[in-house]
Amino acid sequence: MANIENQKFIALDISGKNYLSWVLDVKLHLSAKKLRHTIDEDNAASNEERATALIFLRHHIDDGLKYEYLTVENPLEQWQNLNDRFEHLKAVVLPKVLNDWSQLRFQDFKTVSEYNSTLFKIVS
């Protein structure tokens, strides 16, 4: 239970359903911690920076993914593995969102807040 309390945001689900928002959260948090360069190609990160970034990444992924990538010791390699696994979601999600956007009509909602909620969900 203490693990949940220490997380800065929702961990990456093993199905990848929250991958797109997770990527943004990780990039922002690594940037804030001045560790963003550890997931970039040709970085000159120190061993301490790599370890800190890898701990951060592993702390924010599902336990099933942790076990699958147990032997990965480089945050760049971890980042690329997750990217290879879930990047295809953009190709799946974008057409659905564009369709939802084209079908969005104000008159289909009972309240303005329901409409706004759906609108912001599509936009995000």
- Neighbouring CB atoms inside 10 A of 61's CB total 19
The verdict on residue 6 lying in a domain is: no
3-class secondary structure, 110: coil
Residue listed under structure tokens 């995000």: 124
- CA–CA dist 2, 41 (Å, integer): 33
The verdict on residue 7 lying in a domain is: no
Residue 111 exposed, middle or buried by CB count within 10 Å (0-12, 13-18, 19+): exposed
User: Which of the four pLDDT bands, split at 50, 70 and 90, describes residue 2?
Assistant: very low
The verdict on residue 65 lying in a domain is: yes
- CA–CA dist 17, 97 (Å, integer): 14
pLDDT for 108: 84
Give whole-number Cα distances, 62 to 1, 43, 66, 118, in Å: 14, 26, 6, 27
Share of the chain above pLDDT 90, in %: 34
Mean residue pLDDT of the chain comes to: 85
The verdict on residue 49 lying in a domain is: yes
The number of domains in the chain is: 1
The verdict on residue 64 lying in a domain is: yes
Helix crossing, 89-103 with 112-123: angle to 10°? 150
The verdict on residue 97 lying in a domain is: yes
Is pLDDT above 90 for 29? yes
What is the b/e burial string over 62-90, where b = at least 16 CB atoms within 10 angstroms of the residue's CB? eeebeeebeebebbbebbeebeebbeeee
Task: Kindly state the average pLDDT of the residues 87-116.
Answer: 82
Give the pLDDT confidence of 35-89 residue by residue, as tens digits.
Answer: 999 998 888 888 899 999 999 999 999 998 899 999 999 999 999 999 998 888 7
3-class secondary structure, 12: strand
The verdict on residue 1 lying in a domain is: no
User: Which of the four pLDDT bands, split at 50, 70 and 90, describes residue 6?
Assistant: low
pLDDT for 32: 93
pLDDT for 17: 81
The verdict on residue 63 lying in a domain is: yes
For 49, the domain range is: 18-123
